A and B are shown apart, each in its own frame.
Chain A
Amino acid sequence: MTVLFWICAAVLLLTAVGVVGSRQPVHSVIGLIVNFAALAVLFLTLTADFLAMIQIIIYAGAILVLFLFVIALLTVGNQPIERGPGRLSFQTAPSVIAGVAALALLATAVRAAQANMPPVPPADFGSVANFGTQLLTTHVFAFEVTGFILLIAVVGVVLMAGRKEIRL
């Protein structure tokens, strides 16, 4: 379990850097797919079976395919966007400094965390049955809010994509 965790952690961080650093958006998507697969394995080590499955199906299966479609639709044959310094290149140094500061801040918070996980949870913790029961009884409000958010997103995208004339 320990070895599995550190392998997944290394894959997560390496692919995260790859996603952010690669020149081609398609390479970023591939890195993100590997990243999400490693994250799903970490969810399994945390006994979140259902979430590991929807991490693969929803994220890697649906959202990243959406990214791939947009990349294929828009950027094929184009030059890479980031040629030369941008108009806001003076913001690079403050961004890096802010990142290092955020990492230091989070590290101090993480050091306060408990050193050990509690003993093994009940066998059905995080299973599909347990998750579904929780979602439709204790957390039914979150379930309703989720449906409403998706409705708003669908309406908004149809409104934007269906417009005939686009003026920016």
Chain B
Amino acid sequence: MPSVSLADYLAVSAAMFVVGAVGFLLRRNPITMLMAIELMWNAGNLAFVAFARNFVDMTGQVFVFVVITVAAAEAAIALAIVVMVFRRRADADVDDISVMRG
């Protein structure tokens, strides 16, 4: 039985990243777009962990720790912005939001 190689993990990571990226470009609901961004973060994390295992080096795993922290901060701030936009207009389609003045 062939064992799982680094290339297999990277292929899954790449496919997941592209699904997230295309979803981010195509969707117009800001919350769904944020979830597509989360998919891309996690695809990157999978590649980091696979490389850490491949080179038997903990640096990749520590970097994933930082990435998860940044993702949490990004989600909190982005959702706060979404809440502010939705308070203004309940049917917030991101294509219609063109004013950044606060």
Interface readout for A73-88 with B: 1 if CB under 8 Å, 0 if not? 1110011111000111
- Complex interface: chain A residues within 8 A of B26 (CB): 20, 92, 95-96
The chain A residue sitting closest to B100, CB to CB, is A168
Nearest Cβ on chain B to A16's Cβ, whole angstroms:
4
A103 touches B18 (CB 8 A): yes
A118 touches B58 (CB 8 A): no
A121 touches B56 (CB 8 A): yes
Partner of A118, one of B14, B54, B72: B54
Give Cα A125–Cα B27 distance, bound, in whole angstroms: 40
- Complex interface: chain B residues within 8 A of A39 (CB): 42, 45-46
Question: Assuming the A-B contacts A20-B27, A131-B58, A134-B62, are A48 and B53 also in contact, with contact meaning beta carbons closer than 8 angstroms in the complex?
Answer: yes
Partner of A19, one of B15, B36, B62, B102: B36
- Complex interface: chain A residues within 8 A of B49 (CB): 42-43, 46, 48, 51
Number of residues on chain A facing chain B (CB within 8 A):
91
Interface readout for B77-88 with A: 1 if CB under 8 Å, 0 if not? 101111111111
Give Cα A32–Cα B4 distance, bound, in whole angstroms: 24
- Complex interface: chain B residues within 8 A of A35 (CB): 39, 42
Nearest Cβ on chain B to A136's Cβ, whole angstroms:
10
- Complex interface: chain A residues within 8 A of B87 (CB): 166
Give Cα A42–Cα B12 distance, bound, in whole angstroms: 11
B16 touches A13 (CB 8 A): yes
Can you report 29 A-B residue pairs in the complex whose CB atoms are below 8 A from each other? A2-B4, A19-B23, A19-B36, A25-B29, A25-B31, A28-B35, A39-B45, A46-B49, A55-B68, A59-B38, A67-B35, A79-B91, A81-B92, A82-B29, A96-B26, A99-B21, A102-B21, A103-B15, A110-B10, A113-B6, A115-B6, A117-B4, A117-B5, A122-B56, A126-B61, A145-B66, A153-B72, A153-B77, A168-B101
Using a CB–CB cutoff of 8 Å, the interface residues on chain A facing chain B are 1-2, 5, 9, 12-13, 16-17, 19-22, 25, 28-29, 32, 35-36, 39, 42-43, 45-48, 50-51, 54-55, 58-59, 62-63, 66-67, 70-71, 73-75, 78-82, 86-88, 91-92, 95-96, 98-99, 102-103, 106-107, 109-111, 113-118, 121-122, 125-126, 130-131, 134-135, 138-139, 142, 145-146, 149-150, 152-153, 156-157, 160-161, 166-168
Given contacts A19-B32, A29-B35, A82-B29, 10 further A-B contacts (CB under 8 A): A13-B19, A25-B32, A35-B39, A110-B10, A117-B4, A149-B73, A152-B73, A153-B77, A166-B88, A168-B84
